[in-house]
Structure 1
């Protein structure tokens, strides 16, 4: 049934007739189902169907238009990667400054960064190929370098739940492949990952579960079934 994810893991988030939108304007169809702990889920659909709006609702940035969102257990820290155009690159920050922001869940307000955390930050910067640019201003970065920096911040955060809003937009395929490997690495480490994506081929290769949003309905389940339904609907 649409909205029922396959898999035997414990539920992390339950959607009970949830509709996402802004103020009282509904954008998504009604969604019922669960996001399982440790799952790797793509959110796909045409432009304007509410993919990013839904992700922001799940993250708690905007309230649902209607319906409910339930957390099973304590709401976890969320690793958030916004769309590139939603971020301001003109602040006088370095790559190291931005990546260090990922340490805040683990750092005391009064003690600051300890040696272990500094090593973790340096390791994350190196992991995304920016070791030589740690002290560079972020306004000097290319689009791909900027996205690598944001992934490094998420790596440092080590959040149980990671939400990625169009992580591959505006970057070349070689960089996209490297960042996809980081996503798979997070998943192998036990992190739950939700990603808004446009490339159905990438989704088919790497994401076991998919939520497809359309204007009046949603198809939610194992990726091969969802994408087959999508292709059949396009041909009809």
Structure 2
């Protein structure tokens, strides 16, 4: 698998209904980096991850993915965003990670079925392959989502709050998997509320409060002064801010 180049954020502005949620963000994520994205509630962290995954077009600026397409990026949404009412078992849900290789209506060959079985075993759920996903605990479901990421087998992995509402044992196991991905040279970007986990497992951190507060070595980025500034910036956000013009509209206006 070819290694993509750096991911560059160039004057990036993101939002919904043309109202900005992230302003004029600049920065670079190096290949093989493990980057935590931290900040107060409503700081634009999940918005940024959706844009990196290709699910949200920029209002302004651009994302350069280093030669990788959005389809070559693995994305784990928040657990609360997963519809668990669909009648599917653990085995089939995990195997869905192979969809980009086999196609929407393609059949899984023996190799893909074995890949899914190994992924389920790797996250500690061997023996639960036939369990419907709506019967799983939060920690078990998060393990299933990580197993699907293993099957996807992408060089860039985006994780949105992967440790929310799960037990300590599951957190430790998933951190071990992230460490293994780092050892394989994969690029990992994770939205985290748990600053202790950012300090423990992610050498680089972006502190976001709708704009870049700090971006660099985690210990320096998550200092008290920066965290206080992020809180103040988030509290001062104007929800009635004017709509953003897209780049082409702004150029025409001038």
Q: Same fold (TM over 0.5)?
A: yes
Match of 1:6 in 2: none
Task: Kindly indicate whether residue 77 of structure 2 is the aligned counterpart of residue 82 of structure 1.
Answer: yes
CA displacement at 1:58 relative to structure 2? 1.1
Aligned pair partner of 2:90 in 84, 90, 95: 95
Higher gyration radius (CA): 2
User: Structure 2: how far apart are the matches of 1:88 and 1:10?
Assistant: 31
CA displacement at 1:107 relative to structure 2? 2.4
Match of 2:40 in 1: 46
SS in 2 for 1:52: helix
Tell whether the 8 Å contact from 2:36 to 2:206 is kept in structure 1 after alignment: yes
Aligned pair partner of 2:99 in 104, 108, 120: 104
Structure 1 gaps, min length 5: 1-8
Tell whether the 8 Å contact from 2:209 to 2:231 is kept in structure 1 after alignment: no
Worse-superposed segment, 211-220 or 114-123: 211-220
TM-score (norm 1): 0.89
Tell whether the 8 Å contact from 2:15 to 2:22 is kept in structure 1 after alignment: yes
CA displacement at 1:30 relative to structure 2? 2.0
Task: Kindly indicate whether residue 188 of structure 2 is the aligned counterpart of residue 193 of structure 1.
Answer: yes
Aligned length: 228
TM-score (norm 2): 0.83
User: Structure 2: how far apart are the matches of 1:16 and 1:108?
Assistant: 33
Question: Root-mean-square deviation (CA), in Å?
Answer: 2.1
Aligned pair partner of 2:31 in 9, 34, 37: 37
Worse-superposed segment, 81-90 or 102-111: 102-111
Structure 2 gaps, min length 5: 233-254
Task: Kindly indicate whether residue 79 of structure 2 is the aligned counterpart of residue 115 of structure 1.
Answer: no
Aligned pair partner of 2:166 in 168, 171, 186: 171
Deviations 1:156-193 (A, max 9, x none): 11111100000011111111111111111111112111
Match of 1:161 in 2: 156
